């Protein structure tokens, strides 16, 4: 079973609570505090740290 992002520590700063990255243009009623907005250019990274702006891949963090 996968560990929820809110329990995974950032590999760069150690802060617990990574967030999913969403790409595109969100509306005004979007829950901005729950995800990281990745912008309009889609990249491969799928998770990030709201504290230090690290971005990466959840699959790389699964074994930690």
pLDDT of residue 62: 66
pLDDT of residue 37: 92
Give counts: helices (H), strands (E), the chain: 1, 4
Rounded Cα distance, 3 and 25, in Å: 28
Strand order in the sheet with 47-48: 36-39, 19-23, 47-48, 55-56
pTM for this model (two decimals): 0.82
* pLDDT averaged per 10 residues, the chain (length 64): 87 95 90 90 94 93 65
Cβ-contact 43, 15 below 8 angstroms? no
pLDDT of residue 63: 58
């Amino acid at each position: 079973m996968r560990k929820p992002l809110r329990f995974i520590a950032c590999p760069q700063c150690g802060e617990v609570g990574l967030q999913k990255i969403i790409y595109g243009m969100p509306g005004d009623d979007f829950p901005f505090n729950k995800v990281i907005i990745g912008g309009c250019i889609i990249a491969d990274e799928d998770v990030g740290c709201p504290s230090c702006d690290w971005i990466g891949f959840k699959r790389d963090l699964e074994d930690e």
